[in-house]
Structure 1
Amino acid sequence: MFQIPKNLVDRAITKDTLHRSGKRLLKEIAQAVGIPESDYALRSNKGGDGVMGEVVAHSDSLYLMLHVGSGSTLKVLYRTCTSKKDFSGGMNMYVNVSDLVSSTASERFIEKLKNLGNLSKRQNASHAA
């Protein structure tokens, strides 16, 4: 499973913390889902003044983005995609990072991502045929 870095659950998160610890978190999630490090792109967009930016892990079947949402809540946006060049993909879904602190919730989230990734791979294969 994966561990949520404690500094990501802190209400006073900084931009540097979001990007440094966010990359580590998304790597751990990708590993838990079973996506090899060579099969996804991990990138960070710090944005300008006044925004926190986002951290993204993007594979051929899943798109994960860690960002500060409304109400200053740290969230993971996740969706299916058809390739690493697909930036719109399937329907956006969200989970609050603070909701993933319990091992039960994080296990459920990983299972959901595995199922979504498998669905996306099947859909991609049927479109290619």
Structure 2
Amino acid sequence: MMDWYADCSYHAERKRRFHATARARLRQLVAELRLPAGRFDLRSNQGGIAVSGEITLHGEQIYVQVCQPVTRADTGILIRTCRDRRDYTGGANHFAPLSLLDDIPALAAQVRAVMATGPGASRAA
């Protein structure tokens, strides 16, 4: 079981595992949301040694980013709507705890709720 809250800063192996596991969970989220192949990007930015970096799922209507906030707040999953994969600012930010990465159906429900509030909501709902 992944400890999402084990500090990745200054721990290269822990950071590698955090990124690999988060990417795998975001792939599961893609399947749960039934996002069409070729209609999303999944990318990883390792960041510097002092931070966790971030793992991002960027679809045509949704943007989900996973990181360990340096504030230690339990807001490690950012969810917001977007207009397309070139939209990097999107709609309002919504946050969820990293522990939702261990419950993909619950995370998908939260993502769907956010999608229902954004551009293209009638298509996404």
TM-score when scaled to structure 2?
A: 0.77
Counterpart of 1:3?
A: none
Give the alignment's Cα RMSD to 1 decimal: 2.6
The alpha carbon displacement at 1:100 in A equals 5.3
Name the CA distance, whole Å, in 2 between partners of 1:76 and 1:123.
Answer: 21
Cα pair distance change 1:51/1:108, threshold 3 Å: closer
Q: Deviations over 1:17-76 (max 9, x none)?
A: 111111101111121111123211011000122111000010010000010012175721
The share of aligned pairs that are identical, in percent, is 21
Q: Structure 1: any 5+ residue segments left out of the alignment?
A: 1-5
Residue 57 (structure 1) aligned with residue 52 (structure 2):
no
Name the CA distance, whole Å, in 1 between partners of 2:73 and 2:50.
Answer: 12
Name the CA distance, whole Å, in 2 between partners of 1:64 and 1:58.
Answer: 6
Aligned AA for 1:84? R
Residue 9 (structure 1) aligned with residue 4 (structure 2):
yes
8 A contact 1:63–1:81 mirrored in 2:
yes
Name the CA distance, whole Å, in 1 between partners of 2:75 and 2:81.
Answer: 20
Aligned AA for 1:112? Q
8 A contact 1:8–1:17 mirrored in 2:
no
Cα pair distance change 1:51/1:100, threshold 3 Å: closer
Cα pair distance change 1:59/1:108, threshold 3 Å: same
Residue 48 (structure 1) aligned with residue 43 (structure 2):
no
TM-score when scaled to structure 1?
A: 0.75
8 A contact 2:81–2:118 mirrored in 1:
yes
8 A contact 1:31–1:37 mirrored in 2:
no
Partner of 2:76, secondary structure, is: strand
Structure 1 range deviating more: 6-15 or 60-69: 6-15
Counterpart of 1:88?
A: 89
Name the CA distance, whole Å, in 2 between partners of 1:74 and 1:19.
Answer: 17
8 A contact 1:22–1:66 mirrored in 2:
yes
Aligned AA for 2:64? L
